[in-house]
Amino acid sequence: MTKRSSKLNEEDTIATLALSDLNHEIQRCILGFETGGTSQGRKAFYDRLVWLEKIRAKTHGIPAKRRRFGRK
């Protein structure tokens, strides 16, 4: 089976990223969440953002921000 996407999807792969790369991916998700087109697209960016911040908190000790979908 071929790879479906080149995006980082597995938690163990993301946990090995350098902090600067992880922060870059988080910033990309924040931008997509704030400026995404459809509500489904914004929700997908939001879910990934929360997931990435949780991994960053676990691996690098930077606390994740408390977020609620639909609030800025």
Q: pLDDT tens for residues 16-60?
A: 889 999 999 999 999 998 887 898 999 999 999 999 999 999 988
- Residue 54 near residue 25, CB atoms below 8 Å: no
How many separate domains does the chain show?
A: 1
Range of the domain at 51: 15-60
pTM of the model: 0.77
Interval 56-69 mean pLDDT: 84
Confirm whether 2 is domain-assigned. no
Q: Cα 36–15–24 angle (5° rounding)?
A: 40
Task: Return the pLDDT at 9.
Answer: 67
Higher per-residue pLDDT: 30 or 72? 30
